[in-house]
Amino acid sequence: MVTRDRRSGKVVDRDIFINKNLAPDTYSRVLAHEVGHAIDELAGTIPTAGLSDELRGVYNSLNNGQRNAAGTDARANAKPFLPQHDGYERDDIPGEYMAEAIRAYMADPNYLKTVAPKTAARIREYVNPNPKFNRTIQFNAIAAPAAGLAAGGAVLAGSDDAKASPIAPELPPGAVLIDEPPTDAGA
């Protein structure tokens, strides 16, 4: 959630709220997706122009419930699953695509660099040199061989194969994950 100053429109506060009652695999996916929104917003809203085909493909591959036999991708004959199917309005769709692409990049960089190289390059262009990120987040440009690409898609899509691998990166020692809105208790 972004709070803006009424007069200037300037962002004055940001919060991410995640329902702690979600299933663990869903919780991880939602959290990583919301972090994708935060990165996109802090990077100045990464432009999606010229990336539509890649972004649609990534979004469908990772969110379509009609999976292939291996569970690694949407079935080839499945109707594409798009943000509109989750109720998003036209103006929100580019941000949903980008947040999901950033989630994919964080979870499996080689997957995104292989299936959506222009999108991966655009994310690097806006995030890597940004002083808000460049000491903590860097998206690499070198793609490893495509071996394991299907497994990466399974992890990103949340198939049964993904249960052994977290979708969101592990927290560093001493870091705290707040999974519910702060309360006024004890204040």
In a domain, 173, yes or no: no
Digit-coded pLDDT (tens) for 70-129: 888 899 999 999 999 989 999 999 999 999 999 999 999 999 999 999 999 999 999 999
> What would the two tokens of residue 62 be?
């990772």
In a domain, 49, yes or no: yes
Task: Look at 6 and 23; give whichever has higher pLDDT.
Answer: 23
Which residue from 66, 88, 94, 96 is spatially nearest to 79, judged by alpha carbons?
66
What's residue 117's pLDDT?
Answer: 97
In a domain, 155, yes or no: yes
pLDDT at 174 over 70: no
In a domain, 185, yes or no: no
What's residue 48's pLDDT?
Answer: 97
- The total number of residues written for the chain in this structure: 187
pLDDT at 63 over 50: yes
Which residues neighbour 163 within 8 Å (Cβ) at sequence distance 6 or greater? 25
Considering its fold, how many domains does the chain have in total?
1
What's residue 150's pLDDT?
Answer: 43
What confidence category does residue 155 fall into, taking pLDDT thresholds of 50, 70 and 90? very low
What is the pTM for the complete model shown?
0.72
What's residue 52's pLDDT?
Answer: 96
> Domain of 49?
2-164
What's residue 2's pLDDT?
Answer: 66
In a domain, 182, yes or no: no
Contact 69, 159 (CB under 8 A): no
What's residue 105's pLDDT?
Answer: 95
Average confidence (pLDDT) over 20-39:
92
Q: Which helix (H) or strand (E) holds 103?
A: helix 93-107
Which residues neighbour 69 within 8 Å (Cβ) at sequence distance 6 or greater? none
First to last CA, the chain: 22
Residue-wise burial string across 101-111, b where 16 or more C-beta atoms lie within 10 A, e elsewhere: bbbbbbbbbbb
SS3 67: strand
In a domain, 62, yes or no: yes
In a domain, 177, yes or no: no
In a domain, 175, yes or no: no
What's residue 166's pLDDT?
Answer: 37
Contact 71, 161 (CB under 8 A): yes
Average confidence (pLDDT) over 13-39:
89
